Amino acid sequence: MTETHPYLDPSLPIAARVADLLGRMTLEEKASQMLNVAPAIERLGIPAYDWWNECLHGVGRAGMATVFPQAIGLAATFDEELLHRVGTAIADEARAKHHDALRRGLHARYFGLTFWSPNINIVRDPRWGRGHETYGEDPYLTGRLGVAFITGLQGDDPRYLKLSACAKHYAVHSGPEGARHTFDARPPARDLTDTYLPAFKTTVQEGKVESVMGAYNRVNGEACCASPTLLRHYLRDAWGFQGHVVSDCGAVEDIYERHQIFRRKEQAVAEAVKAGCDLCCGGAYDALVQSVEQGYLAEADIDRALARLFTTRFKLGMFDPPAMVPYAQIPLSVVSCPEHRALALRAARESIVLLKNDGILPLKPEGKFIGVIGPNANAPDVMMGNYNGNPRDAVTPLQGIIDRAFPGANVLYSAGCELNGPEGAIFWEAHEIAAVADVLVVVLGLSPMLEGEEGAGVADRPSLDLPAAQQSLLELLAKSGKPIVVVLLNGSALAVSWAREHAAAIVEAWYPGEAGGTAIAEVLFGDYNPGGRLPVTFYQSIAQVPDYESYDMTGRTYRYFTDEPLYPFGHGLSYTTFAYGTLALSAPSIAAGETVTVSVEVRNTGEMAGDEVVQLYLSAEQPAVPAPIRSLKGFRRIHLVPGEAQTVAFTLPAEAFMYADPAGEPILDPGTFRLTLAGGQPGYVPAAQMAEGTIEVK
């Protein structure tokens, strides 16, 4: 190797450098670089590289890292600026770990710069085990938060990517987990357009995401990782995607082993490459050379895919002197630094949703004994979610309450029961605590061992209820007559109807990350006023949810659900009150190519400072074809002190008023549309906390 090779010249355009490098490689060398475990090519100075890395809510699986709330908790913040800051902090830690590994000669998995996050699939069904990895059920919210997170990860340097982010799993992927390697999702055309694809389109076109991961399943008969419709028609031709596509791990093998679309491995991998799957997580692309030799694939097809992969590596600065790459100078001391830990606490605070409060919260200092009971009260692993790193320190709800309890108060603790086990001795121990406590904080819910990914020992949930032992524990404690505050740690909707009827308050805390216990205690004792909102619908029971295997959105999520939910999407209470003024429109009508500004004054009319999440919903009053009941089209989280007012404005393009017809074609339907600005969904907030108006679409 010589330093005069053009691909090593940082002054040349990346496209020229990539072309020069590919021209020096043999077919076998090219094929070897299309596997996620790419070997070194020493004669060309190409180091070994493993493309697989994770940063769903912090750098995952690579030792110590700041652990932020699980993705569903981040979604509950309804805070784009926060998501961007979290992405930036994660990228700092990832860069520091990567360059430290290189200095030590390590090229191991989970120390690269290509991260397979975020998960932007839509939670169409609360049973799906991986719902907690996502930003919830709404395509608009998912797209906005996805863009914020991705741009934080990828940075804003004009020359280099900080990290390569990845929008996954493309597409129409949300269970059933147990059938994901064989399942053929067949959504109606309108749902493909209006629900399953928008977040991917947004993260590609606005977020400029560098990578997209193909899903395991089929969509309308085509395997996602070999789908001309998904990978060519939509992703590259319609949306202009310029990055690379990676398969989910083992998904290319599924094409011929489980979907059995093609009988021969050599043909299956060829079709995947030609459709646009550039990188194989797994080993299937070890047949690429044979695919070329047998005539299924041209070397030019491999060159096209490999050019995309090396373009990403060049954009990350992997072939440039470290002194030229600003991100290479980030020190290892940034990992779990005080600033990042403070950000994790802020994120945990903002993620908490107050579902119910009869006035018991914030807790008062009168009582001498606080009973903290429940299997999730002192379970650090539950707080971490999945795809997580290891925190420097983690504060459980129990520890947070002990640290914050009023002077002179005694905190009594019992797990009460196992997370998902039978009643036992600790069941009665909890009963004895309830007899002497003045108030009971009962920390219940799920864990990543009860909801998760196929192959991880657990997958989808058969029920939306609390595990039976936890429900029995809650009912036993209620017999004490003591006021009960239920705190939920979980990643998906729970049908806590009994708790709604019998508990004094319900606090949704998700899997809150390393600082979760501190944030929960701050909310319970009134040091922080909760302002999170539900990014998913909480149903009354599983009877309200359609057939799990149907990808038809009829009856699913707040956009199409016609029954009464337990708690609606967008719901969240506060310790203060907010009043909305009159909705103002910049114009009475809108037509194609035009925009309209919608605004309202929001005032804190209570006695405590707090956050309000202003949500903009749009609804067609007499749609020409079936349309969503309502759709979120804007949101903004604002902070107001008592008496303070702020005008919140959203500018909508005409495209915001479009929805798909039954053929999947977006239409701008003339007629009247209702616009609502509110602290939650229309019909589920007090009249003072919303403002409505109409606009004509021409």
Q: Which residues, given as ranges, of the chain have pLDDT below 50?
A: 1-2
Domain that includes residue 403, residue range: 343-531
Same domain as 509, residue 385: yes
CA distances from 220 to 123, 187, 229, 551 (A): 19, 8, 10, 11
Last residue of one domain, picked from the residues 531, 554, 588: 531
pLDDT at residue 290 in the model? 98
Same domain as 499, residue 361: yes
Q: Give the global pTM.
A: 0.98
Name residues whose C-beta falls within 8 Å of residue 73's C-beta, 6 or more positions apart in sequence.
Answer: 57, 347, 348, 351, 509, 510, 511, 512, 513
| DSSP secondary structure code for residue 632 in this structure | E
Same domain as 501, residue 383: yes
Q: End-to-end distance of the chain based on CA atoms, in angstroms? A: 65
pLDDT at residue 421 in the model? 84
Last residue of one domain, picked from the residues 531, 564, 595: 531
CA distance 632 to 310: 39
Same domain as 585, residue 489: no
Same domain as 522, residue 374: yes
pLDDT at residue 423 in the model? 75
| Backbone torsion region of residue 510, taken as left when φ is above 0, otherwise alpha when ψ lies between -120 and 50, otherwise beta | left
Name residues whose C-beta falls within 8 Å of residue 264's C-beta, 6 or more positions apart in sequence.
Answer: 256, 296
Q: Does residue 674 fall inside a structural domain?
A: yes
Q: Does residue 468 fall inside a structural domain?
A: yes
pLDDT at residue 1 in the model? 44
pLDDT at residue 424 in the model? 77
CA distances from 612 to 114, 164, 599 (A): 36, 33, 15
Q: Which of 67, 120, 127, 115 is nearest to 91 (CA)?
A: 115
CA distance 194 to 656: 11
How many CB atoms are closer than 10 A to CB 500? 16
Same domain as 587, residue 523: no
Name residues whose C-beta falls within 8 Å of residue 3's C-beta, 6 or more positions apart in sequence.
Answer: none
Q: Which two tokens stand for residue 558?
A: 């707040």
Strands 184-185 and 690-697, by their bridges, are unpaired
Q: Which of 532, 517, 471, 470 is nearest to 498 (CA)?
A: 471
CA distance 460 to 449: 11
Contact 74, 347 (CB under 8 A): yes
Question: Is 403 an active-site residue?
Answer: no
Last residue of one domain, picked from the residues 504, 531, 558: 531
CA distance 633 to 676: 10
For helices 516-524 and 397-404, angle between their N-to-C axes, nearest 10 degrees: 50
Same domain as 490, residue 347: yes
CA distance 45 to 14: 17
How remote is the C-alpha of 553 from its chain's centroid?
20
The total domain count for the chain is 2
Q: Does residue 405 fall inside a structural domain?
A: yes
CA distance 509 to 516: 8
CA distance 308 to 533: 39
Q: What is the CA radius of gyration of the chain?
A: 26
CA distance 606 to 579: 9
Same domain as 598, residue 495: no
Question: Residue 617: which CATH number?
Answer: 2.60.40.10
| DSSP secondary structure code for residue 622 in this structure | S
Q: Does residue 611 fall inside a structural domain?
A: yes
How remote is the C-alpha of 694 from its chain's centroid?
32
CA distance 452 to 458: 6
What is the secondary structure of 35-62 as a DSSP string? Answer: BSEEPPBGGGTB--EE-----SSS--SS
Name residues whose C-beta falls within 8 Å of residue 443's C-beta, 6 or more positions apart in sequence.
Answer: 372, 373, 374, 375, 376, 377, 397, 398, 487, 489
pLDDT at residue 3 in the model? 59
Q: Does residue 317 fall inside a structural domain?
A: no
Which entry of 451, 460, 522, 611 is annotated as an active-site residue?
451
pLDDT at residue 458 in the model? 78
Contact 564, 674 (CB under 8 A): no
CA distance 146 to 169: 13
Question: Is 611 an active-site residue?
Answer: no
How remote is the C-alpha of 272 from its chain's centroid?
27
Same domain as 524, residue 398: yes
Q: Does residue 263 fall inside a structural domain?
A: no
Q: Does residue 470 fall inside a structural domain?
A: yes
Q: Does residue 329 fall inside a structural domain?
A: no
Q: Which of 109, 136, 1, 107 is nearest to 54 (CA)?
A: 109
Question: Residue 505: which CATH number?
Answer: 3.40.50.1700
Which entry of 54, 177, 248, 271 is annotated as an active-site residue?
248
Same domain as 588, residue 680: yes
